[in-house]
Amino acid sequence: MGVTQIARAKVNLTLKVLGRRADGYHGLESLVTFAAIGDRLSFDPGLGGRLVVSGPFAEGIAGPNILEGALDLLSQSGVDLGGSIRLEKNLPVAAGLGGGSSDAGALLRLARAAHVERAEDPLWQDLARRLGADVPVCFADRPALMSGIGDELQLLATGSSPPPPLPAVLANPGLPLATARVFAALQAPALKGARAPTAPLAPIGSIAALCDHIGAVGNDLEPPAMALEPVIGAVKAALLACPGCRTAAMSGSGPTCFGIFTSEVQATAAAVALRSSEPRWWVVATQLDGVAASAAA
């Protein structure tokens, strides 16, 4: 019987670039959450073949991709899936939503579910780190404060009463934007000396406080991304102009922007209005996981 995982869209609520490391990577601090939409991965043990791709954005990942690399790495690690992986690509590619990393994280969760006797094996976390800096948080599939190059996580506690979801709209102007281009345009200074440990997230007691935090910290990649693709500024402004939008920002390296709304009704109405006024944009109303105030062990 097939097993399915949703590779949820990763949304960077904040993103600070601390500097460029000697190895060419950049030191980051980012508050990350996940949306209620994403790609769909299915494992069919009775079918042959390795990877079958469908969905509205399937053409965007033609050729070698991170899932092929993940399948090779699983095989090298002695994890035999013995079936077919089907990817329904629902998220735009090179969009700042962690699509490839989220797909890889979901594939690791599928593999873990197929090998339940190894569920507690540290192998899965090790594979996630080897696949890419964003894959560990996507494998965890939980809000987190990321640091390092994105591979160091403080998972945020949910407790017995998880924070309420955040009504939101995701909007993409219908163009891809390579992460490497944005970091090159940023021209971050070299990161010198030892990095101080990332401090735990300060208490956030309400959606209003979270929106204030997002506005205060911001996303350091927004200015260079907007310089490369000015339409990103128009997307953000369009979200902010919608009734009920409490804050808006670019996610990751863009070009997708998110808006957090007062209610689901207002988020849905905003998405309908934006799709009508900008039919070439990809626009969806969704919910983001709420962000708790403290880090989990």
What 3-state DSSP class applies to 295? Answer: strand
Token pair 């090298």 in the structure block, residue:
76
Whether 134 sits among the annotated catalytic residues: the reply is yes
Q: Do residues 220 and 186 lie in contact, with contact meaning Cβ atoms separated by under 8 Å? A: yes
Which tokens belong to 230?
A: 């000015």
CA distance 79 to 98: 24
- 39, 89, 103, 134: the catalytic one is 134
**SS3 letters for 22-88?**
CCCCEEEEEEEEEEEEEEEEEEECCCCCCEEEECCCHHHHCCCCHHHHHHHHHHHCCCCCCCEEEEE
Dihedral of CA atoms 147, 148, 152, 155 in degrees, nearest 10, equals 0
CA distance 297 to 158: 11
Tell me which residue of 203, 105, 212 sits closest to 163, measured CA to CA. 203
Which helix (H) or strand (E) is 4 found in, with range?
strand 3-20
Q: Do residues 131 and 69 lie in contact, with contact meaning Cβ atoms separated by under 8 Å? A: yes
Percentages helix, strand, coil for the chain (3-state, rounded to 5) are: 35, 30, 40
CA distance 33 to 251: 10
- Catalytic residues, by residue number, are 10, 134
